[in-house]
Amino acid sequence: PNVLICDNAEAASLRAAKLFAASLHSWPDLKIGLATGGTPVEMYAQLVRFYEQDLISFAEAKTFNLDEYVGLAADHPQSYRSFMEQQLFSHVNLDPRNAFLPNGMATDVDAEISRYEQLITDSGGIDLQLLGIGHNGHIAFNEPGSAPDSRTRLVDLTERTIASNARFFDSIDDVPKQAITMGIGTILEAKAIVLLALGSDKADAVRLAIEGEVSASHPASFLQTHANVTYVLDEAAAKGLS
Ligand code: F6R
């Protein structure tokens, strides 16, 4: 795989942003897969700067987020839709009709899941997918045990993921217990993937993803079966690699 190790989190975020900006520059109608969480915040800020400097345009792009909590309205401050609005969408010229996330308030979840997969298929598929990585090796909300051919679906979040996400809510009881997530199979259909990981607490997860055995016990290890994955790491996240 391509493993890019940068001096610090800021440099890694800039490096990842440049990968997205370069693709968007070459292919203005890029279909971009997006992630939420702490990891991409600085990368999105960089993309906003590139947009403000007229280096990139989102006018013809489409974005598809990996996941969304179930039971939070789109305008709930902790919904992933709100996160994307705050970090990226409201600052760039992406057409709101071209910014897709699963609808966590859908009354018919099965229909919503089919709709989301179909939207991705109808767009021609995701060209460049951004991923973060969970401490337990999850990608999107594909927790350990997720099958490599899993598709977009409703999932229960693990205790550890709920606890980790509690920092964004008033209390742990407010953290949603379920999400709609792209599956591993869905993610592996992206033409190219960038996994961004920052900080020493991700070092073990990164090592197992890149150097561990390919196994559902560490879902990110399935990325080893994809032909075009670039890992962008800061030194702390890379420190477990041999
Ligand atoms: C978010 C997502 C998650 C995160 C992962 C890491 O859309 O799919 O898999 O990428 O939980 O989260 P942070 O970046 O907060 O450490």
Mind listing the pLDDT tens digit for each residue in 50-94? 999 999 999 999 999 999 999 998 889 999 999 999 999 999 999
70 domain-assigned: yes
187 domain-assigned: yes
| Ligand 1 centroid from CA 222, angstroms | 17
236 domain-assigned: no
75 domain-assigned: yes
What's the domain count of the chain? 1
Instruction: Give the whole-number percent of the chain exceeding pLDDT 70.
Output: 100
Q: What is the pLDDT of residue 165?
A: 85
Is residue 164 scored above 90 in pLDDT?
Answer: no
53 domain-assigned: yes
Encoding tokens for residue 203? 């070092």
Query: Which ligand 1 atom is the nearest neighbour of the CA of 181?
Result: 8
| Ligand 1 centroid from CA 165, angstroms | 9
Cβ(33)–Cβ(228) below 8 Å: no
Domain holding 67: CATH number? Answer: 3.40.50.1360
The domain of 198 spans 2-225
How do strand 99-100 and strand 62-65 relate by DSSP bridges?
parallel
Query: Measuring from atom 12 of ligand 1, which residue has the nearest CA?
Result: 37
First-residue to last-residue Cα distance in the chain: 14
Burial class (CB in 10 A: 0-12, 13-18, 19+), 10: middle
Residue 202 CA to chain centroid, in angstroms? 15
- This complex has an ipTM of 0.99
Query: Which ligand 1 atom is the nearest neighbour of the CA of 131?
Result: 10
pLDDT in tens, 192-238: 999 999 999 999 999 999 999 999 999 999 999 999 999 999 999 99
Rounded CA-CA distance 97/79 in Å is 18
Ligand 1 pocket, 21 CB below 6 A?
no
Q: What is the pLDDT of residue 196?
A: 99
Lowest mean pLDDT among 160-169, 182-191, 228-237: 160-169
114 domain-assigned: yes
Residues acting as catalytic residues:
67, 136, 138, 143
Query: Which ligand 1 atom is the nearest neighbour of the CA of 35?
Result: 7
| Ligand 1 centroid from CA 5, angstroms | 19
Could you tell which of 13, 42, 133 is best to mutate to test the pocket of ligand 1, judged by most ligand atoms within 8 Å of the CB?
133
CA distances from 47 to 27, 95, 190 (A): 16, 16, 20
57 domain-assigned: yes
Q: What is the pLDDT of residue 138?
A: 95
Q: What is the pLDDT of residue 73?
A: 86
68 domain-assigned: yes
HSE (side-chain half, CA atoms, 13 Å) at 143: 13
Encoding tokens for residue 21? 């900006």
